Structure 1
């Protein structure tokens, strides 16, 4: 018997390494695949779109906020991989009646690397996990060198419309903004409580007057008409459509994200 502790402090004990895995988070599904665990993945959500072919070969058990418990029961999983932010406590507690639930909690790059290391131990793929950790650490260092001379810029990062919602404090998106030397005007939990506060768009200038407005591709797919509407209240701010996966997916996606961020900075430089 081996005992492990997940990222919210729960202890899980397994006689053997889990062989039947259900993943409730898209970025973690991608990580499991990249660790060479495709054959062990038996269930995923409808939002698990990378790699694309998994939706044809694995059982879809609902979304991140609404899962089909009966479908999960029938799959007889050894373990269910959830996330503190993506999946509700109610869902996690209900799933614990079916199988052990491993809950990740990723806010920083360090948390992401810890998750990769944990999966390496849990699923007996330490070598692959170490390879990814080494690659991410190398790319991270390279990016820090790249960003070193970039000026700080005030930004707002929109994730939703009706109501307008932005990335606030204590979340992975905000960590990625900070990494890029972007000063998130909504990173102020006293004025804007919650990880993703609702805002009044008409007040954006007095709330921080950003130089750059990022409109994410997910979870809400912002389009040109939304940029025009927001632009009426930001005036001088530049609007950039960004790939939301690069800012919000953790795990092995980080390796691609560092290179993607460089392209964002090159676009911003063209504005100057």
Structure 2
């Protein structure tokens, strides 16, 4: 018997290494694949799009906020991988009636390294987990060197429309913004409640007057007309459409993200010229 503790402090005990895995989070599905566990993944969500072929080879068990419990039960999983932010407490508690549920909670990059290490131990793939972590650490160090001469910029990162919602404090996106030396004007829990506060777009200048507005590709797919609408109230701010996966997907995706961030900074630099 082996005992483990997930990232919300729940203790799980397994007689054998869990083999039949259901993943409820797209970025964690990608990580499981990168860890060499494709054969062990038996169920994924409709949003698990990387690698793309998994949608043809694995059972779709719903979304992140609405899962099909009967489909999951029929798959007879050894473990279900969930996330504190992506999946509701009600979903997790209902799923615990079917199989052990491992809940991750990734807010910082250190949390991300912890998750990768946990999966390495949990699924007996420590070597693969260590390789991924080492690659991320090396890429992170290279990126920090790249960032040395980059000035701080005030930004707003939009994730939703109707109502307009932004990345606030205490979330992974905000940590990634900090890594890029972007000062999130909504990183102020005393003024803006919740991790993803609703905002009144007409007040954006008095709320922080950002230099740059990021419009994410997910969960809401922002288009040119939304940039125009927001731009009416931001005055001098530059608008950049960004790949939401690079800013919000943790796990192995972070390794790909560093080069992407460099392209964002090079684009911002071109604004100054």
TM-score > 0.5, shorter chain as reference:
yes
**What is aligned with 1:88?**
88
**Partner SS, residue 87 of structure 1:** coil
Tell me the C-alpha RMSD between the 2 structures: 0.3
2: distance between equivalents of 1:113 and 1:132? 9
Q: How many residues align?
A: 272
**CA distances 1:52-111 after superposition (whole Å, capped 9, x unpaired):** 000000000000000000000000000000000000000000000000000000001110
**What is aligned with 2:122?**
122
2: distance between equivalents of 1:110 and 1:193? 25
**What is aligned with 1:214?**
214
State the 4+ residue runs in structure 1 displaced beyond 4 angstroms: none
**Partner SS, residue 92 of structure 1:** helix
Superposed displacement of residue 36, structure 1? 0.2
Superposed displacement of residue 271, structure 1? 0.1
| Equivalences for residues 1-272 of structure 1 within 5 A | 1-272=1-272
Superposed displacement of residue 197, structure 1? 0.2
**CA distances 1:11-60 after superposition (whole Å, capped 9, x unpaired):** 00000000000000000000000000000000000000000000000000
2: distance between equivalents of 1:138 and 1:108? 17
For structure 2, list consecutive stretches of 5 or more residues without a partner in the other structure.
Answer: none
Superposed displacement of residue 193, structure 1? 1.0
For structure 1, list consecutive stretches of 5 or more residues without a partner in the other structure.
Answer: none
TM-score scaled by length of structure 1: 1.00
Superposed displacement of residue 148, structure 1? 1.2
**Partner SS, residue 156 of structure 1:** strand
TM-score scaled by length of structure 2: 0.99
1: distance between equivalents of 2:108 and 2:85? 13
